[in-house]
Structure 1
């Protein structure tokens, strides 16, 4: 994880520096320094990464096919893969009953 990724993750979550500092146990000054490219202890970086991952951030290292470099993304909530409201879903009986012989697709 890089400092620029910390800044991107924080922005994606809508957090300020103080929010991340409070959730990770790292001082706001240290968060600022890391985001601006300063080196940090591995334990500090781990604390920041844990706090951001718990909030739903996934870190992209940039080593995958089609990479645009290191980045972040918000993880899709577990459960449904399609965003739909079952109370607003209508299923029409005529489309659920097969009225054609097998193999008569169209």
Structure 2
């Protein structure tokens, strides 16, 4: 969902997070990754202007952090 919000493909996310496209594929298949790897992926999304929101009865989600958020290419 976060990739779609930014119109990023797996290679875009991999490049922005500094990981391999295979790592992104493993994450999206639900495979277990090291915490540090998940953290750098999350940081790439946050740098691009997304924020993760906790479950609030409707489930976990992401949204744009605000008007000052900018996309990373």
Indicate yes or no: 2:10 matched with 1:20.
no
| CA distance in structure 2 between the aligned counterparts of 1:32 and 1:21, rounded to whole angstroms | 10
Indicate yes or no: 2:58 matched with 1:68.
yes
In structure 2, the residue matched to 1:77 is: 67
- 2:63 alignment partner, SS class: strand
- 2:51 alignment partner, SS class: strand
Aligned residues: 68
Who wins on radius of gyration, i.e. which is larger?
1
TM-score by length of 1: 0.61
Q: Deviations over 1:7-66 (max 9, x none)?
A: x1111000000000001011101101101111100110010011000001110121x4xx
| CA distance in structure 1 between the aligned counterparts of 2:33 and 2:54, rounded to whole angstroms | 18
TM-score by length of 2: 0.86
- 2:32 alignment partner, SS class: coil
Shift of 1:77: 1.4
Unaligned runs of at least 5 residues, structure 2: 69-73
In structure 2, the residue matched to 1:53 is: 46
Q: CA RMSD in A?
A: 1.0
